[in-house]
Amino acid sequence: MKPTIHIHRGSKNAFSLVEVMVAAALAVILGALVFTVTLSVLKINSDVRKFSDELTRDARSARKYEVYTSTTSLVSQGAGGTGDVLVLVWADPEPLKSATADSVRNYYYRKFIIFARVPDSDQDNIGPVWRYERNFPAPGGSVPPTLAGDNTIAAITAEILGDANPNRREVVQLARGLATENLFFNSRLGRSITVNGEIYHGNANRRVTNTYNFTVAPRG
């Protein structure tokens, strides 16, 4: 009886060294991509949280607010209107000793805080959101109880936005408005502001976005 000789040939299902190396390289690239996207999402969520917290905190104690169309067109948007500029106004009443019996107490501007989105026409209406702040030394100028209405607030807003050395900082790197392509929506009752937009992170070739929506209500 002749002995049986078994010859083991390479399995057709086995991977070559080159295939293993290619698979490993692809896994590394995919892992790096997932890691980058995850970091971008975390950064966006952090930006949204900081933006919403800061705007809510600022708006909570403001006496009055105005929504304007844009930094280049300060057209006041009433109830139901939208714009890219939100102006928060603080004012203090004049001292009782300065008031007269036959007139209503005047108010003095104390502080303006402006949140303004500045879209780039070459970037699909995407641009940064800036926060401006100006404090006024007492008394800061007398104004009627209505805070002088739109015209005075718009004039001061234009002055702040046009300041060559503004007290400003970037609060959102890139954003796009979703309320008729604007960021701020003045409620139909004119008592609160809804912020509705998208935040972008990354370059034009690899950009991560996240939609955000929150409402703030100045209490006066």
125/115 Cα distance (integer angstroms): 17
Euclidean distance between the first and the last CA atom of the chain, given in angstroms as a whole number? 106
Residue 117 amino acid letter = R
pLDDT of 82 reads: 95
User: Do residues 90 and 107 touch, judged by C-beta distance below 8 A?
Assistant: no
Question: To the nearest 5 percent, what fractions of the chain are helix, strand and coil?
Answer: 30, 35, 35
pLDDT of 118 reads: 93
pLDDT of 34 reads: 63
User: Do residues 129 and 116 touch, judged by C-beta distance below 8 A?
Assistant: yes
33/202 Cα distance (integer angstroms): 12
pLDDT of 145 reads: 47
Q: Which two tokens stand for residue 87?
A: 């102006």
In whole angstroms, how far apart are CA 204 and each of 45, 127, 196, 208?
19, 13, 22, 9
Q: Which two tokens stand for residue 218?
A: 């100045």
In whole angstroms, how far apart are CA 37 and each of 30, 44, 106, 123, 177?
11, 10, 54, 21, 22
pLDDT of 152 reads: 83
184/69 Cα distance (integer angstroms): 9
Low-confidence ranges of the chain (pLDDT < 70): 1-15, 32-44, 94-106, 122-123, 138-151, 201-208, 220
Q: Which long-range contacts (CB under 8 A, 24 or more apart) does 72-77 make?
A: 74/154, 74/157, 74/158, 76/150, 76/154, 77/186
Strands 168-177 and 193-203: antiparallel
User: Do residues 66 and 89 touch, judged by C-beta distance below 8 A?
Assistant: yes
User: Do residues 208 and 194 touch, judged by C-beta distance below 8 A?
Assistant: no
pLDDT of 68 reads: 96
Q: Can you name the residues that pair with 131 across neighbouring β-strands?
A: 115, 169
Q: Where are the domains of the chain?
A: 18-216
